[in-house]
Structure 1
């Protein structure tokens, strides 16, 4: 049997206060799990903050302001909740918070172990989206991190390292040049797609990446949060 030793890389930019990012994450994971060559795919978790230097506030208030009206905010929340339910995710907008997620991204950057990092990312979404936990103070973040198996050493490194903050800023600069919203996916630095696409669309992109299929540079854009902070 002919083997393909090449490694393929998928870079994913997202923010833990982006309502669409958790849905997109779950749909991409479903596609990757069904992809026959998943062992040849490495996923890079990239950082982007929708609300740099923004004080924490209730998510509902932030959506009303960003979308311009309470009705628009309610319609969006209902749509996100429906998308979430179809992926087994529970969105509790009444307790969700919005703000600058710098420390959450830095904490993820501090973890080297891939399985622990993935566990932490999932915990950040679940604890903030379903449980109403804050991502904006370090005591709360440490609780979430420890529940995901992050070591005390990694947590100390997160709070003491200036390099990790620079890595977050580097991620943000790189996606701002090409992306228009998060979540944003780049497949092997060859083509990109954004938003909460269907699992079938993600699977199609994985196949395109693996088999080198030619086609449009940019795939369809799905539901996303604008990189300028607008949904």
Structure 2
């Protein structure tokens, strides 16, 4: 069985969900028959790489004066799972982090790097937005920093075009239709769905598109 885990490394609910998934799998008697595949999902795909902001300032600008209390509530939930959570961390572009995660997948160390990145960001408030910060974490995950540097330097390494098509799923997707829900299989992405002159080239991956940058809206569920 394969589990596709869509996540951004700066998403606190992804951090929490990933920890709960690991706990559930550790208790599952057929754990060896389960393969977890990390799927990249950027919460803020338009953010420039140099735009690194303290989380408190970012949340206040987006959600108003109650943002600090909101983040503290999240912290209590995360701490209840035995995880570290710093409210003084930073937020920035996660594109390079996702590129390295897919590179780590080819080294069969994707899960180790994902855990290291989330721990560095949430529990330690470390830098995961610059090459220097990312390469330090790569070494902690048992990966070669020189090879990771080469991957980051390659502009074609797992970069999707600015508006990629919805990734095709190998399994049915639950969708809602009146008068009752039904199972449908999404059509494969059109080769012309991306712009004729994208900022980056789309590099294919055996498990599907490398980075999904379009923010998906929640499906409407009729009453």
Please indicate, yes or no, whether the TM-score normalized by the shorter chain is above 0.5.
yes
Give 1:170 shift. 9.4
Q: Equivalent of 2:95, from 102, 113, 117? A: 102
Q: Distance in 2 between matches of 1:19 and 1:227?
A: 17
Number of corresponding residues: 179
Which one scores higher on RCO, CA 8 angstroms, separation ≥ 6? 1
Give 1:145 shift. 0.9
Return the TM-score normalized by structure 1: 0.67
Segments ≥4 residues shifted beyond 4 Å: 168-173
Return the TM-score normalized by structure 2: 0.69
Label 1:33 to 1:40 Cα distance change in 2 as closer, same or farther (>3 A): same
1:174: which partner in 2? 166
Unaligned runs of 5+ in 1: 1-7, 178-185, 193-214, 218-225
Unaligned runs of 5+ in 2: 175-180, 184-213, 218-223
- Over aligned residue pairs, what C-alpha RMSD do you find? 3.1
Q: Which has the higher helix share?
A: 1
1:59: which partner in 2? 55
Indicate conservation of the 8 Å contact 1:47/1:172, yes or no.
no
Give 1:92 shift. 0.7
Q: Distance in 2 between matches of 1:129 and 1:136?
A: 13
Give 1:53 shift. 3.5
Indicate conservation of the 8 Å contact 1:48/1:172, yes or no.
no
The superposition leaves residues 106-157 of structure 1 with CA deviations (integer Å, 9 ceiling, x where unpaired) of 111111233x321211111111112221122101111111111111343134
Label 1:45 to 1:56 Cα distance change in 2 as closer, same or farther (>3 A): same
Give 1:171 shift. 11
**Higher Cα Rg, which structure:** 2
